[in-house]
């Protein structure tokens, strides 16, 4: 009986985590910068990758 209850509780906790973790991750906003020098120095100090987006209105 304990094994069955433990499995159900574990499954419930797993479903709760699967439902909430992506929402928490997606709530972070992207901090855009217009200065490449500032962005490169920040990426170097934090150790995070940097994404550059180019476009044109030709």
SS3 33: coil
Tokens, residue 6: 């433990």
pLDDT greater than 90 at residue 50: no
Question: What is the overall mean pLDDT for the chain?
Answer: 79
Neighbouring CB atoms inside 10 A of 39's CB total 16
pLDDT greater than 70 at residue 48: yes
Between the two ends of the chain, the Cα-to-Cα distance in Å is 69
12 within 8 A of 6, measured Cβ to Cβ: no
pLDDT greater than 80 at residue 19: no
| Weakest-pLDDT range from 8-12, 21-25, 52-56 | 21-25
pLDDT greater than 90 at residue 45: yes
């Amino acid at each position: 009986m304990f094994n069955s209850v433990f499995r159900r509780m574990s499954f419930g906790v797993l479903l709760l985590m699967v439902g909430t973790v992506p929402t928490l991750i997606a709530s972070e906003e992207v901090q855009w910068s217009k200065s490449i020098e500032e962005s490169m120095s920040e990426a170097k100090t934090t150790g995070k990758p940097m994404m550059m987006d180019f476009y044109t209105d030709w």
